[in-house]
Amino acid sequence: MILTVTLNTAIDLTYRVPALVPQGSHRVFEVDERPGGKGVNVARVLGALGHEAVVTGFAGGPHGETLRAGLAGLPVRDALVPVAGNTRRTLAVVDAATGDTTQFNEPGPAVTPEEWAAFLTAYESLLRGARAVALCGSLPPGIHVGAYAELVRRARAAGVPALLDTSGEPLRRGIAARPDLVKPNADELAQLTGSREPLRATHAARRRGARTVVSSLGPDGILAATPEGIWQATPPRKVLGNPTGAGDSAVAGLLSGLVDALPWPDRLVRATALATATVLAPTAGDFDRACYEDLLPRITVTEHTPAA
Query: Catalytic residues, which ones?
Result: 248
Give the bridge partners for 55, in sequence order.
4, 78
CB atoms within 10 A of CB 305: 8
Q: Are 157 and 125 in contact (CB under 8 A)?
A: no
Best CA proximity match to 34, nearest among 184, 185, 244, 183: 244
Residues 6+ apart with CB under 8 A from 236: 295, 298, 299, 300
Compute the distance between CA of residue 305 and CA of residue 220 in angstroms, rounded to an integer.
18
Max CA pair span of the chain: 56
* Chain centroid, CA 137 distance in Å: 7
Q: How far is CA 66 from CA 3, 34, 53, 71, 254, in A?
A: 21, 9, 20, 9, 29
Contact yes or no for 120/148 (Cβ under 8 A): no
Q: Which of 177, 155, 180, 144 is nearest to 56 (CA)?
A: 155
